Amino acid sequence: MSKVNKANKAGVNGGKKPSFFQENTKSIVFIAAGIFVLILLYIGYQKLYLAPRSEKAANQMYKAEQYAAIDSLQSLAIEGDGSYPGFKEIAGEYSNTKSANIANAYLGGLLLRRGEYQEAIKALEQYSPTGSQVIDPLILGLLGDAYSESKAYDKAANYYKKAASTHSNEYTTPMFLRKLGLVCEELNDNKGALEAYKRIRSEYPNSEEGASIDAYIARVEASLD
Q: Which domains does the chain have, with CATH numbers?
A: 33-128 (no CATH), 130-225 (1.25.40.10)
In this prediction, the residues of the chain whose per-residue pLDDT falls under 50 are 2-15, 17, 21, 37, 39-50
Model pLDDT, residue 34: 52
**Which tens digit of pLDDT belongs to each residue from 97-138?**
888 898 999 999 999 999 999 999 999 999 999 998 889 999
Q: Give the number of other Cβ atoms within 10 Å of residue 97's Cβ.
A: 22
Q: What angle do CA 163, 168, 174 make, to 5 degrees?
A: 70
Amino acid of residue 33: A
How many Å from the N-terminal Cα to the C-terminal Cα in the chain?
100
**Which tens digit of pLDDT belongs to each residue from 17-38?**
455 545 555 555 555 555 554 5
Model pLDDT, residue 93: 87
Model pLDDT, residue 39: 46
Model pLDDT, residue 41: 46
Model pLDDT, residue 2: 47
Q: What does each C-alpha distance from 191 to 93, 156, 177, 209, 222 come to in angstroms? A: 46, 17, 14, 19, 12
3-state SS, residue 189:
coil
pTM of this structure: 0.75
- For residue 36, give every residue at least 6 positions away whose Cβ sits within 8 Å of its Cβ, in sequence order, or none: none
Radius of gyration of the chain (CA): 29
122: number of CA atoms within 13 Å, CB side?
A: 8
Model pLDDT, residue 96: 79
